[in-house]
Structure 1
């Protein structure tokens, strides 16, 4: 056992040393991106490959930087140093707290219920069970040791005890299952009409966001590096941007009090969009659309990160979300070149009319079985070389986007 533990510790130290060596490697300056301020460019990666994530043709140009409603990254001005101050209980709002062993303060109803379920039911229950089992072990060790019990009992069955230790765990599991199933159902409840749709697309290793209900404009978010990791004149992380490894150059902006329809997918491998303060963790799977919904109940700045191992730079895919009043969200959308959906006669927001296709879904039917034709034969490796793959699944050196290692 000690040998296995030593091997695990040595492997952890080796991985940590390798990560430190990669971070300490000299970084070459990235070429200037046309139409952007050099101070906003992300750091370059080895081999003079730009570390700035690309956008698709639907991406809108950045808004006027002189607009008083916008910050450097195009989002409403919101400083992490001010917004994420610790509350009365000493926990930071929307970000981790050093030395704190607890769940982050929750700003969604599902998160608040889950927090109550954890603190009021699960934690006391597991504490009681653990102490009870420990007491039984101590009693057995003392009461039935050889010195106190030289002649062991030959009892093989005790009906009362067997019934109790069978029914008691069943009753405990049923009591836990009732609120647990309710929480699981609430987490996957479809978003109501008038929800704001946010489509999060995972890439190696950055996030792309689209707003289908607001004109389909797109933003990309890369991690902000530290001051000593970027070249002169390039943007680096400050305390206003957020914590180390969690600050992003572009923040997601969402309205407070409005249901959010979150749709996730991926362009390469499985990622996971996770914000602890929202009680939200949804996998982004290539070729599929996953959907969930939540409603943010408190304005603020909230941080998360990819929570699915997706390659060497898995730990460098932060998520930063600004929750603002609906009017400020509408101003941000217009500044990004987007549009706001119309209103119904009763003043409520119109439901989304955007079709987001998903392979195999009714809205995106596949080819009928009766019309299926045998596909043509592929290239014969014996006579023709196979085409080179432009981008590997875990090594993004030749593909577009974040430089990777």
Structure 2
């Protein structure tokens, strides 16, 4: 915990030294941000910690190598050493520069493998949602509740106060707070990618292949993501919006969604152009 607090403090101090810089907000990007979006899941907290841990290691290595270069430049130049050294080897140095890098790699590998294991091991799910990437919108299925809906980007002229440009959608994914959500992701036409930065999830949506990931949001709020695989001319207009609510509001939303999206299926041959409206192929 002390190490984590030190790393967070170091990053905050660095941000204060950068003019116009800002720490990223929760759920969406911030102007001039220099770091990840704030974590809203345990996995994203681990990713942030691991990132800061690596930042410290690479900074120390960079400073050390720079110091060695300066020593060589100023101490071992021809003017300072008119008679060159005839040293051929140094056993101690050779052992050190072999053992120390191995120890550094092990120190990196242990938390790295732990993070990968936690990302790839899906706990027992409270909610299952299937996301199907299409050119250029998402279709979400709630198989346990028997309904599905399309989610399209809200056009700039239709944005409501507080809705971010290019990120807000007409139909949001709604999930309960502090519940394990299993995301099943597939592509309907080309490869897409389902990514929500504050959740620490990013997984390809591949046609004919069902990929899975998971998250457990620990804070209520609205979280934005985007398709993160170049999927065609309107790739930039394929956002993801996830609203995290308490159990009571989630139950109420489910009741409303079952009526609103009853017997609805995604129409065949539909895409969303940069205008954000469905267009027949």
Q: TM-score category by the smaller chain?
A: 0.7 to 0.9
1:220 equivalent in alignment to 2:161:
no
Residue-by-residue CA offset, 1:281-340 (whole Å, 9 max, x unaligned): 1111110001112111110000111111212222211111100012211211111117xx
1:283 equivalent in alignment to 2:216:
no
Choose 1 or 2 for highest CA Rg.
1
**Match for residue 30 of structure 2?**
97
1:33-48 to 2 correspondence within 5 Å?
A: none
1:337 equivalent in alignment to 2:270:
no
Residue-by-residue CA offset, 1:351-395 (whole Å, 9 max, x unaligned): xxxxxxxxxxxxxxxxxxxxxxxxxxxxxxxxxxxxxxxxxxxxx
Residue-by-residue CA offset, 1:207-234 (whole Å, 9 max, x unaligned): 111111111x11111222222xxxxxxx
**Match for residue 238 of structure 1?**
160
**Match for residue 190 of structure 1?**
122
SS at the partner of 1:129?
Answer: helix
Which of 307, 316, 320 does residue 241 from structure 2 map onto? Answer: 320
Determine if contact 2:128/2:184 at 8 Å carries over to the other structure.
yes
**Match for residue 373 of structure 1?**
none
Q: What TM-score do the two structures reach when normalised by structure 2?
A: 0.82
Distance 2:140 2:117 in 1: 26
Taking only aligned residues, the RMSD between alpha carbons, in angstroms, comes to 1.9
Distance 1:151 1:272 in 2: 62
Name the structure with the higher helix share: 2
Q: How far does residue 180 in structure 1 lie from its aligned partner after superposition? A: 1.0
Range with greater deviation from structure 2 (319-328 or 142-151) = 142-151
Cα 1:337/1:308, change in 2 over 3 Å: same
Q: How far does residue 93 in structure 1 lie from its aligned partner after superposition? A: 1.6
**Match for residue 133 of structure 1?**
65
Q: How far does residue 110 in structure 1 lie from its aligned partner after superposition? A: 1.2
Aligned length: 246
1:273 equivalent in alignment to 2:206:
no
SS at the partner of 1:238?
Answer: coil
Distance 1:202 1:288 in 2: 12
Determine if contact 2:194/2:227 at 8 Å carries over to the other structure.
yes
Q: What TM-score do the two structures reach when normalised by structure 1?
A: 0.58
Distance 1:191 1:198 in 2: 14
**Match for residue 145 of structure 1?**
77
Distance 2:58 2:200 in 1: 22
**Match for residue 262 of structure 2?**
none
SS at the partner of 1:130?
Answer: helix
Higher relative CO (CA 8 A, sep ≥ 6), structure 1 or 2? 1
Determine if contact 1:196/1:261 at 8 Å carries over to the other structure.
yes
1:200 equivalent in alignment to 2:123:
no
Distance 1:90 1:187 in 2: 25
* Alignment gaps of 5+ in structure 1: 1-88, 228-235, 339-397
Determine if contact 1:274/1:280 at 8 Å carries over to the other structure.
yes
Cα 1:176/1:206, change in 2 over 3 Å: same
SS at the partner of 1:150?
Answer: coil
Distance 1:265 1:90 in 2: 33
1:107 equivalent in alignment to 2:40:
yes
Determine if contact 2:23/2:35 at 8 Å carries over to the other structure.
no
SS at the partner of 2:258?
Answer: coil
Residue-by-residue CA offset, 1:90-120 (whole Å, 9 max, x unaligned): 642211111121111111111112222222x
Residue-by-residue CA offset, 1:242-294 (whole Å, 9 max, x unaligned): x2211112211111111101110001111111111101111111100011121
1:6-405 to 2 correspondence within 5 Å?
A: 91-119=24-52, 121-192=53-124, 194-215=125-146, 217-227=147-157, 236-241=158-163, 243-337=164-258, 399-403=269-273
Q: How far does residue 404 in structure 1 lie from its aligned partner after superposition? A: 5.9
Which consecutive segments of 4 or more residues in structure 1 shift more than 4 A? Answer: none
Residue-by-residue CA offset, 1:63-85 (whole Å, 9 max, x unaligned): xxxxxxxxxxxxxxxxxxxxxxx
Distance 2:211 2:239 in 1: 20
